[in-house]
């Protein structure tokens, strides 16, 4: 979680923040990673830095919660294979671009945008660390609400606003 001091430094000096953290656990809900992206964005961060992310071939049989990219050699792929958790972050990134557009085209303030998102999605979370060297994972309570409904509503609102410019 970003602190009050971090938010003040952002306002005073224009600093950008990219906190460390881990994606949701393999047996957890991938929507937690999406909400993690939303949470730090709504607190003023411009992105995240995953805490370690490369899996090993053995992680196809023995799971590693930190692995979001796996070696593709087993399947004849030169390069990496993305986990569904990484694909969830792509979804979050897409929706955050909608958030940026809402600020730009609909003049939403940070507070208005946070209230809008929270009207669709439960954002309460707990920061869980496996040990003292773990960057931690945000574990959210409650359901994801209506994430797809929110996306459709943002699309509708933005389409109407952008059409006014053309």
**What pLDDT sits at residue 3?**
55
135 within domain boundaries: yes
- Asked if 162 contacts 155 with a C-beta cutoff of 8 angstroms, the reply is no
137-156: pLDDT as tens digits:
888 887 667 889 999 999 99
Residue that has been written with the tokens 């602190």 in this structure: 3
Alpha helices in 29-139 (DSSP H): 31-42, 84-106, 110-118
58 within domain boundaries: yes
166 within domain boundaries: no
111-123: pLDDT as tens digits:
999 999 999 998 8
**What pLDDT sits at residue 106?**
94
110 within domain boundaries: yes
Q: What is the mean pLDDT of residues 25-41?
A: 89
How many domains does the chain contain in total? Answer: 1
99 within domain boundaries: yes
94 within domain boundaries: yes
The token pair that represents 126 in the structure block:
């707990």
3 within domain boundaries: no
12-25: pLDDT as tens digits:
888 888 888 888 88
**What pLDDT sits at residue 1?**
46
pTM: 0.81
Top pLDDT among 97 and 14 is at 97
165 within domain boundaries: no
Range of the domain at 146: 9-159
Tell me phi and psi for residue 82, to 5 degrees.
-85, 140
């Amino acid at each position: 979680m970003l602190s009050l001091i971090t938010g003040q430094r952002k306002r005073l000096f224009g600093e950008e923040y990219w906190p460390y953290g881990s994606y949701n656990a393999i047996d957890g809900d991938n929507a937690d990673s999406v909400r993690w992206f939303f949470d730090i964005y709504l607190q003023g961060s411009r992105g995240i830095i995953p805490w370690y992310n490369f899996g090993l071939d053995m992680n196809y049989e023995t799971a590693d919660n930190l692995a979001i990219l796996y070696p593709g050699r087993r399947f004849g792929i030169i390069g990496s294979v993305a986990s569904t958790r990484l694909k969830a972050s792509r979804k979050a990134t897409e929706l955050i671009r909608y958030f940026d557009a809402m600020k730009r085209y609909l003049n939403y303030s940070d507070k208005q945008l946070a209230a809008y998102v929270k009207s669709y999605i439960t954002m309460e979370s707990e920061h869980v660390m496996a040990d003292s060297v773990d960057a931690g994972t945000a574990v959210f309570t409650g359901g994801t609400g209506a994430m797809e409904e929110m996306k459709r509503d943002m699309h509708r609102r933005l389409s109407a606003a952008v059409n006014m410019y053309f």
